[in-house]
Structure 1
Amino acid sequence: MAIDCAHSVEGSGPALFLIHGIGARRATFAGLVEGLKDRFTCISYDLRGHGESPLPDGRFGLDDLVDDLEALRSRLGIDRAHFAGHSLGGMIGPAYARRHPDRVLSLGLWSTAAFRTQDDSAKVKAVVAAMREKGIGQVLDTLTARWFTDAFAAAHPEVIERRKRQVMDTPPDVFLNVFDIYAETEMAPWLHEVTAPCQVLTGENDGGCNPRLNRLIADALPKSELVILDDLKHAIFIEATDRVLPHVRDFLVRQAG
């Protein structure tokens, strides 16, 4: 059953749906929206159980998150749109495009993962297992060290604390559920079915969504462009929207003709 997710609509022009990641909020994309709303109608939303969106009734999977996105598109009366997501959002977008190819003008796969080796999968599943065993709060410092560069974390401790608070304000069952989806989703068997023009983008030092995996993602997609951002880790939109925006804007403007 699809959930009526809280959302924001800003700007004018072709529609662009922005899909955030684990334990985040639509506010992740505030800076990006500011840089795109002159050309695009930017629709950002809180995933089920996150931010202002309703709590789900029990466990859910990737298909349910796709259902939520389709329900939002339908409710807004938008026929076709650009879709882009960060991290888990970069899995929801392609899964949506696979199911609703006629709705998708282009796709952004930002800081996401596919083609994980057994070792890659074991590492991410170990993080989830550690959170279940020790509690989410006990593992948060490990996560934020993977998300932000050391220099940014040292210069902006208040931003790190705010991101941690977002995680802790997400109901634990929901946070672990979406982390399970992120850990267990493997797009490799079907990515080649996604025929929309795609932008594949990640940080050079993103441990879990690294350039090695993103090159494989880009190679698997029939129409793709790959961008590797020097020095950055995972939290590219919190740490460096100013560096991401030119690449995203250029790609979207070209797709919009």
Structure 2
Amino acid sequence: MSDLHYDVCGSGPVLLVIPGGAGHPMGLEGVTERLSERFTVVTYDPLGLSRGPLDEPVGDQRVEVWRDNAHRVLEAVLPEGESACVFGSSSGGIVALDLLARHPERVRRVVAHEPPSVGVLPDAARQRAMIGEVHEICRAEGVGPAMERLSAGLKGRTWEGRAPQRAREIAADTPIGIFLAHVLLPFATHAPDVEALKPLSARLAVGAGQDSRGQLPRRSAELLAELIGADFVEFPGGHLGCLEHPASFADLLVRTFTRPVPAESSPGS
């Protein structure tokens, strides 16, 4: 896809927001409005889902493509030689980590909230199998049953092998349908470049929701922070805390982004 889809609001230092799911920014208005009081908020919409139905079918997505296009967005909005803060949630957090690893000269600080990088977990093989099962259920039975299977897997619940009838009515071309069919598997099984991120750890904070304790995305977030040597920050709410508690979530983001960064780890140093 050659077109870049992003929106800009507010004024101040640039803050790039990379949403989770299929990259759709719907529902983020509360947090971006609050953040725009302190930042020029650039909301990256990888597939352009906020602009209406897509004109063509969506293929399987790749972290590298989303990362490269996010970098192109930064090149479009940043003055030469300057860098941006980046916030990514869930699948967007995976992209944010890769953006810092590959383009540290354009990234001042990153907050990655609950990136579900299952490969870092001690039970990685079991979690990859669960994600693969979600993918197969989505193809064979539809979005609703796949969503029910994923929910059980994220929370560590036993899967009964069936979904309520209401769940079977979710359309495949919705953002959640696109996420389950084309984003979840390649993103959750993408291996973050821990070795490239270690020297940049002072610029990184990995976040998780206080209501997510024991759940898969929080487990991966805690372990990533430990492996990289980055700060771990607990945010209000759960995996969707930025939608559930937009004001307090945004305020904590501001405090995290405005912490001093050691000079030796700043871009250009």
What interval of TM-score do these two structures reach, taking the shorter chain for normalisation? 0.7 to 0.9
TM-score by structure 1 length?
0.78
Query: 2:113–2:208: 8 Å Cα contact kept in structure 1?
Result: yes
SS at match of 2:16: strand
Match of 1:45 in 2: 44
Task: Note the aligned Cα RMSD (angstroms).
Answer: 3.2
Identity %: 21
SS at match of 2:51: coil
Match of 2:226 in 1: 219
TM-superposition CA deviations, 1:198-227 (whole Å, max 9, x none) = 1211124432302x32222112224x3212
Match of 2:16 in 1: 17
Between the aligned partners of 1:56 and 1:68, the Cα distance in structure 2 is 19
Structure 1, unpaired ranges of 5+: 149-160
Q: Which runs of 4+ in 1 moved over 3 A?
A: 53-60, 140-148, 170-175, 188-191, 193-196
Bigger-Rg structure (1/2)? 2
TM-superposition CA deviations, 1:90-126 (whole Å, max 9, x none) = 0101111111111110001102133122222222222
SS at match of 2:65: helix
Q: Say whether residues 1:33 and 2:36 are aligned partners.
A: no
Partner AA of 1:201 in structure 2: G
**In terms of mean alpha carbon deviation, does 90-99 or 109-118 score higher?**
109-118
Match of 1:133 in 2: 140
Q: CA deviation at 1:133?
A: 1.9
Between the aligned partners of 1:122 and 1:243, the Cα distance in structure 2 is 36
Match of 1:238 in 2: 243
Between the aligned partners of 1:204 and 1:16, the Cα distance in structure 2 is 24
Q: CA separation of 1:219/1:256 partners in 2, compared to 1, >3 Å: closer, same or farther?
A: closer
**In terms of mean alpha carbon deviation, does 26-35 or 101-110 score higher?**
26-35
Match of 1:68 in 2: 69
Partner AA of 2:217 in structure 1: C
Q: CA separation of 1:52/1:208 partners in 2, compared to 1, >3 Å: closer, same or farther?
A: farther
Match of 1:186 in 2: 191
Q: CA separation of 1:18/1:193 partners in 2, compared to 1, >3 Å: closer, same or farther?
A: same
TM-superposition CA deviations, 1:141-186 (whole Å, max 9, x none) = 55568899xxxxxxxxxxxx9xx78x74239566522112222212
Aligned length: 238
Structure 2, unpaired ranges of 5+: 156-166, 263-269
TM-superposition CA deviations, 1:70-104 (whole Å, max 9, x none) = 12122224431011100011010111111111111
